[in-house]
Amino acid sequence: MYGPFASKILDSSFKALIAFSRNQTSLPSSRYWIRRTMSSTSTNQESLPPIYKWASTDGEFRRAPTSFRNVIEKDANSGAQFVAEKDRYHLYISWACPWAHRTVLVRALKGLDDVIGLSVVDHHLGPKGWKFSTPEECPGAIPDTANNKAYLSELYYMAWPEYKGRFTVPVLWDKKLGTIVNNESSEIIRIFNTTFDDFVPEHAKGLTFYPENLKSEIDSINEWVYDSVNNGVYKSGFATTQEAYEKNVAPLFESLDRLEKIFSEHEFLVGNTFTEADIRLWTTIIRFDPVYHGHFKCNAKSIEKDYPHILRWARRIYQMPKVAQTVNMHHIKHHYYGSQKNINPTGIVPVGNGPDLSKPIIL
Rg (the chain; Cα; Å): 20
Q: Tell me which residues in 244-283 interact with ligand GSH (CB under 6 A).
A: none
Kindly state the smallest distance separating residue 17's Cβ from ligand GSH, in Å. Answer: 11
**φ and ψ at 171, to 5 degrees?**
-130, 130
Q: Which stretch binds ligand GSH (CB under 6 A): 16-24, 165-173, 271-279, 339-347?
A: 165-173
What character string, x for contact with ligand GSH (CB under 6 A) and - otherwise, covers 85-114?
------------x-x---------------
What character string, x for contact with ligand GSH (CB under 6 A) and - otherwise, covers 175-194?
--------xxx---------
Binding flag, residue 51, ligand GSH (CB under 6 A): yes
The reply to whether 167 sits in an annotated binding site is yes
Sequence-distant (≥ 6) Cβ neighbours of residue 336 within 8 angstroms: 96, 291, 295, 344
Kindly state the smallest distance separating residue 128's Cβ from ligand GSH, in Å. Answer: 10
Determine contact, residues 121/92, Cβ cutoff 8 Å: yes
The reply to whether 85 sits in an annotated binding site is no
- Distance CA(23)–CA(121), nearest Å, equals 25
- Distance CA(262)–CA(217), nearest Å, equals 14
Among 111, 117, 143, 170, binds ligand GSH (CB under 6 A): 170
Determine contact, residues 1/71, Cβ cutoff 8 Å: yes
Q: Which stretch binds ligand GSH (CB under 6 A): 162-170, 245-253, 288-296, 302-310?
A: 162-170
Binding flag, residue 49, ligand GSH (CB under 6 A): no
The DSSP call for residue 91 is E
- Distance CA(299)–CA(236), nearest Å, equals 11
Render 59-83 in DSSP notation, one character per residue. S-B-PPPP--B---BS-TTS--SSB
Among 71, 72, 169, 311, binds ligand GSH (CB under 6 A): 169
Binding flag, residue 290, ligand GSH (CB under 6 A): no
The reply to whether 99 sits in an annotated binding site is no
Burial of 290 (0-12, 13-18, 19+ CB in 10 A): buried
Measure Cα distances from 143 to 125, 158, 171 in Å.
15, 17, 14
Q: How many chain residues touch ligand GSH (CB under 6 A)? A: 14
Kindly state the smallest distance separating residue 70's Cβ from ligand GSH, in Å. Answer: 14
> Looking at beta carbons only, is 51 or 311 nearer to ligand GSH?
51
The reply to whether 121 sits in an annotated binding site is no
Kindly state the smallest distance separating residue 185's Cβ from ligand GSH, in Å. Answer: 3
Kindly state the smallest distance separating residue 156's Cβ from ligand GSH, in Å. Answer: 11
Cite the beta strand spans of the chain per DSSP E: 89-93, 117-120, 171-174, 179-182
Q: Tell me which residues in 119-138 interact with ligand GSH (CB under 6 A).
A: 125, 129
- Distance CA(306)–CA(301), nearest Å, equals 6
Among 7, 133, 168, 228, binds ligand GSH (CB under 6 A): 168
Catalytic residues: 97, 234
Question: How much of the chain is in helix, strand and coil states, percent to nearest 5?
Answer: 45, 10, 50
Amino acid at the residue 113: D
Binding flag, residue 232, ligand GSH (CB under 6 A): no
The reply to whether 166 sits in an annotated binding site is yes
| Residues placed in the known binding site for glutathione | 130, 166-169, 184-185
| Residues placed in the known binding site | 130, 166-169, 184-185
Binding site for ligand GSH (CB under 6 A): 51, 66, 97, 99, 125, 129, 166-170, 183-185
